[in-house]
Amino acid sequence: MRNPDYDKSLRGYKASGGYSALKKVLKKKPEELVELVKTSGLRGRGGAGFPTGLKWSFMARNTGKPSYLICNADESEPGTCKDRELMLKDPHQFLEGMIIGCYAINCTHGYIYVRGEYAPSIKSLNEAIDELYKEKILGEKVMGSRFKLDLTVHPGAGAYICGEETALLDSIEGKRGHPRVKPPFPAVSGFNSCPTTVNNVETLTCLPFIVNEGAEAFASFGPPNNSGTHLVSLSGHVSNPGVYEVRMDVSLRDIIYDLGGGISEGKALKGVIPGGASSPVLTAEEIDVEYSFDALAKAGTMMGSAAIMVFDEDTDVVKLLHRITRFFNHESCGQCTPCREGTHWARLILRDFLDENGNQKKLRRLSKVGGNMMGTTVCALGDAAGMPITSFVQKFPLDFEKHYAQAA
């Protein structure tokens, strides 16, 4: 991420070397660009951490159909705001990456699906895109080349489920956002039944650096298989919340105490949700873990959307989990019974605990409901709702006991 105080206009971006990477790319073959990104080790920054170059290579070729690149800017995971910063403060670096990505998969019309509540980001992107058309960096001949590209910003309507890539595609097509059964995968049959790749804002924003500085330079930031820097959204009970750019060899403790300034009001740390509301929770004793895809997975959690939510010793874990579960219950599309019914019943059970009507039997039932949602739904929302439940019950049982000991 460039200095946020830079001029975000096209003139300001070009003055700092902007669109030089695109010039280089237009002299390469798309296949060369795919291999470059594979070598860099860039992994998706939207949640799954899937290798970007490998994802591009899955695109169906010579089908006679157009190919599409869709940017998932539907940043709706609770606690996440890093992509908003990129779209607001450095739209051209992101757009240069978007154009490079389109070139790599032979896409002539790309779409940016932006969370509907992000009105300032939508305005920022549309203004930047208008500048690109005026300078002929978009349109019939991109920078005087044979490459043609149009970009369209498509606002969402506030549905969390449309962050799932196939539900997002349905939404752009004008349908209700429902996750699709896979296969076929979007790379074979996606937007309008055409080959489609869906990438995240931050993922695409990494591309200009990789092209300009080389795959090895990007890979040098961070441990093996965890290349590059990462933006994190740090919130909760910390002294300095905000969006920070970190290497993936820094520890979660360092992010909280060095960048975040430690726990606010001098209180003790109780736990951390390390990757958005859907990620399994970590206790205060588990934060000496490298903040990378692989290290977090080994610790039994995930980086997810890189939204680090910190809570202190006074936090009522039952109340926190109820709030998370209520969110997933509200945002479930209702297509799959385990998710639709599971989030509903989990919310009701947690409400019983908050009303001091909990007991050991209900705690076992809550854990069972959370486990039954995982791996049983068309999309990952069942897992997203189930993982917090099972991890909170496992790691903070005393918090639940407080709510039924009083009733007894």
Element (H, E) at 243: strand 242-247
- Residue 65 is given by DSSP the state S
How do residues 36-70 score in pLDDT, each as one tens digit?
A: 999 999 999 988 889 999 999 999 888 899 999 99
Confidence tier at 2 by pLDDT (50, 70, 90): low
How many distinct helices (H) and strands (E) make up the chain?
18, 9
Class of the domain covering 317-405: mainly alpha
Report whether pLDDT(1) > 70: no
pLDDT digits (tens, 9 = 90+) for 334-377: 999 999 999 999 999 999 999 999 999 999 999 999 999 999 99
Reported as a single tens digit per residue, the pLDDT across 106-115 is 999 999 999 9
pLDDT band, residue 408 (cuts 50/70/90): very low
The residue length of the chain stands at 408
pLDDT at 318 over 90: yes
DSSP one-letter code for 46: S
Q: Which residues contact 244 (CB under 8 A, 6 or more apart)?
A: 231, 232, 234, 255, 259
pLDDT digits (tens, 9 = 90+) for 179-227: 999 999 999 999 999 999 999 999 999 999 999 999 999 999 989 999 9
**Contact call for residues 282 and 288 (beta carbons, < 8 A):** no
What sign for the dihedral angle of Cα 172, 175, 176, 179?
A: negative
Confidence of residue 6 (pLDDT cuts 50, 70, 90): confident
β-bridge pairing 196-200 and 68-73:
parallel
Residue 405 above 70 pLDDT? no
| Sequential DSSP letters for 342-360 | HHHHHHHHHHHHHTT---H
HEC string for 310-330:
EEECCCCHHHHHHHHHHHHHH
**Structure token pair of residue 118:** 């992000």
Assign 407 a pLDDT band (cuts: 50, 70, 90).
very low
Tens of pLDDT, residue by residue over 150-185, are 999 999 998 999 999 999 999 999 999 999 999 999
What average pLDDT does range 312-320 have in this prediction? 97
Structure tokens that stand for 401 in this block? 């006991």
Domain ranges of the chain: 10-219, 229-312, 317-405
Q: Categorize the per-residue pLDDT at 8 as very low, low, confident or very high, splitting at 50, 70 and 90.
A: confident
- For the domain spanning 229-312, the CATH number is 3.10.20.600
pLDDT tens-digit series, residues 319-330: 999 999 999 999
pTM: 0.94
CATH number for the domain running over 10-219 = 3.40.50.11540
Closest CA relative to residue 117, chosen from 164, 76, 167, 171? 76
Classify 208 as helix, strand or coil: helix
> How many angstroms separate the Cα of 344 from the Cα of each of 103, 276, 318, 356?
44, 20, 16, 19
pLDDT given at position 4: 60
**Please, what is the average pLDDT of the chain?**
95
- For 138-205, the DSSP string reads SBSSGGGSS--BEEEEEE--S-GGGGSHHHHHHHHTTS---PPPSSSPTTTS-GGGS-EEEEEHHHHH
pLDDT of residue 282: 98
Which pLDDT score, from 0 to 100, does residue 123 have?
97
